[in-house]
Structure 1
Amino acid sequence: MHIVYISDGKAGHRSQALGLFKAMQRQSQEIVTFQEISIDDLPIVTLISALFSHQLHTVEHEPTYIFGVGSHTHFRVWLLGKVYNKAKTIILMKPSLPFAWFDYAVIPQHDGIQASNKVLTTQGALNPIVNEERHQHGRILIALGGSSKRHQWNAAKVLHAIGQIVEQNPNSEIILTTSRRTPKAFLAELKQLKNIEKVQIFPVEVTPQGWIFEEMQKAEAVWVTEDSVSMIYEALTAGCKVGVIEVDRLRHDRITTSVDHLFHQQYITYFTALSKLAQPQYFAEATRVAVEIFK
């Protein structure tokens, strides 16, 4: 089985494609291979020409599935599906072209699209994480985001929450990391916090690729600032207890509604004591989608 992923180069989109590929790999009885091809290497005119020969030198093996994430990939996925007409085409978002043009669309529930035989709805975007069940009792990870189009960073609110986490979990090992959106001045403010010496601080600039996913595998609990929605879903998928640090909302939309939905489902809480966090529930959306596709 060979999967061709048409890539727009965005890391978040690649994470979704890898999540589904790895889930399909786990579910399949045969060898599953994966090839990523940039949209720059798939000019539309080349794809149209290949409609007659039904082959393309860029594609290493005849694909069984063709993935696309990002609006610039959709037309290419459809065309490549015509070149290799035995392949199934899968768009990992709401497609910009008619649903009937693809075999499957994998769409987060917050987009409000009704599930059907062609539409598989998920809680959040897919990711490549699995729960490796290596969580260490009392180990805490705090992951900070920053301002976004729907959230405004509130340093005082975040500092208060971190202070409460440190105070209410005195026997825990606490690791904290930032993101590229975290204001540069915040680390200096953080270092003035009472008992901050108990916290191991790893700014994003010093963490290698994959570091945070490894930390999620080791943490019993993860606190995430509310703006980092993808990280909330990643922590749930890793099997952690998840606490959310509130930041100011600039607007309410389908994304903030999805976070509220997780709260009402008791997947996440806003407490700052580890003992009060909701127990982790089975959360494996990529696996569930792979099972559906293989039915």
Structure 2
Amino acid sequence: MSDIWIISDEKPGHLNQSLGLVEALIALKPQIKRQVISVSDARRSLFSTHSKPSLIISAGSGTQLINALLALRYRVPNVLLMKPNYPQSLFSLLLIPEHDQVPPSERVVLTKGALNRMKPAVKEVGSSLVLVGGPSKHVKWQDKLVIDAIDTLISSTESNCIKVATSRRTPKTLLSELAANEKVELIQPESVAQDWLPNTLATTERVWATSDSVSMVYEALTAGCAVSLISLESNPNSRTQRGMQMLLADGIVDNSLERSHNLTNTPLAEANRCAEIILERGWL
């Protein structure tokens, strides 16, 4: 029997959120057992005589309805890690990023960004990394702005060289410029193992990230990095860029291109905070 069922729509980002929460629960209560089940298997469970879980957790629009139905079927509490498309009353707890601007309540807990699985480690003194995303519906992308920011960072580093990790969205034009710069150590997704970035963030002190790279910003903060944004112009009504502005307003990140900073390296432990709330409610 599993204490927790994680319903997965098989999208890595959504599963990452659920696992971040469940791993935090297990860290606090190691005897907890968990099981990941697909949406199709979850539907079949509606008509089976399986041993029931103690708690159901999911993220992603495609998991919302089956999450609610299973909770009703087995009469157990359920958690959804997003703003719901259905009435809030169908969920025992909603963990919703604050940039979605949903009023908090006993049922709604606001989080800084989406939960993730990052865990901080001992930092390598003086280590730094630049995270570069690419065009998205949330920002007005500018290659030149990013190149100028990286040039400024290079000029301020003692080694006169800097690590830059790109994403699959990074434009080829920008990749070509970075590859031609002998002062840039370029790391592309296809050239490293899947766990390279989380392992690297765990031990990195200082991170600069383009403001479109929302997930990476929150993961770097959770890893205990001091994070500054390379800010691109936001498109109107972007929820994710609203979240970046909230981090700036709270002093959690800044826009500085200086190595020295007044930021805290205290990890953003949102998964731990949410796990404590669940245990306080006596559901496990």
**TM-score greater than 0.5 by the shorter chain:** yes
For residues 1-295 of structure 1, the aligned pairs below 5 Å read: 2-28=3-29, 30-43=30-43, 46-50=44-48, 55-56=49-50, 62-85=52-75, 87-132=76-121, 134-171=122-159, 174-192=162-180, 196-276=181-261, 278-295=263-280
Name segments (4+ residues, structure 1) moved above 6 Å.
Answer: none
**Further displaced range: 269-278 or 283-292:** 269-278
Q: Report the TM-score, using the length of structure 1 for normalisation.
A: 0.89
Q: Deviations over 1:204-260 (max 9, x none)?
A: 111211211111012110111100111111111110010111223222433212111
Q: What is the CA–CA distance in structure 2 between the aligned matches of 1:182 and 1:277, rounded to whole Å?
A: 29
The alignment covers a number of residue pairs equal to 279
Report SS of the residue matched to 1:19. helix
1:97–1:252 CA distance, 2 compared to 1 (3 A): closer
Give the 3-state SS of the residue equivalent to 1:74 in structure 2: helix
Distance 2:41 2:269 in 1: 33
- In structure 2, relative to structure 1, the CA distance for the partners of 1:223 and 1:277 (3 Å cut) is farther
SS class of match (2:22): helix
In structure 1, what is the Cα distance between the partners aligned to 2:174 and 2:91? 46
Matched residue SS, 1:137? coil
Aligned partners of 1:265, 1:280: CA distance in 2, in Å? Answer: 14
Q: Which runs of 5 or more residues in structure 1 are unaligned? A: none
Query: For the aligned residues, what is the CA RMSD?
Result: 1.8
CA distance in 1 between counterparts of 2:211 and 2:174 reads 17
What SS class does the counterpart of residue 138 from structure 1 fall into?
A: coil
**CA displacement, residues 37-95 of structure 1 (integer Å, 9 cap, x when unaligned):** 1113334xx35534xxxx24xxxx5312111211221111122123322x321111112
Hey, what's the Cα distance between the residues in 2 that align with 1:265 and 1:174?
28
Whether contact under 8 Å (1:175, 1:202) holds in the other structure is yes
Check the 8 A contact 2:225/2:267 in 1, yes or no.
no
Aligned partners of 1:190 and 1:277: how far apart in 2?
29
Deviation by residue 1:240-292 (Cα, 9 ceiling, x = unmatched): 01011122322243321211111111111111121135232341000001111
Normalised by the size of structure 2, how large is the TM-score? 0.92
- In structure 2, distance between residues paired with 1:173 and 1:81: 53
Which amino acid in structure 2 is aligned with residue 95 of structure 1?
P
Distance 2:173 2:259 in 1: 28
**Aligned residues of 1:138 and 1:171 also touching (Cα < 8 A):** no
Q: Which range moved further: 270-279 or 134-143?
A: 270-279
Structure 2 residue runs of 5 or longer lacking an equivalent are none
Secondary structure at 1:120 match in 2: strand
Relative to 1, partners in 2 of residues 1:75 and 1:207: Cα closer, same or farther, differing over 3 Å? same
1:34 is displaced (CA, Å) by 2.0
CA distance in 2, matches of 1:172, 1:190: 14
Equivalent position SS for 2:125: strand
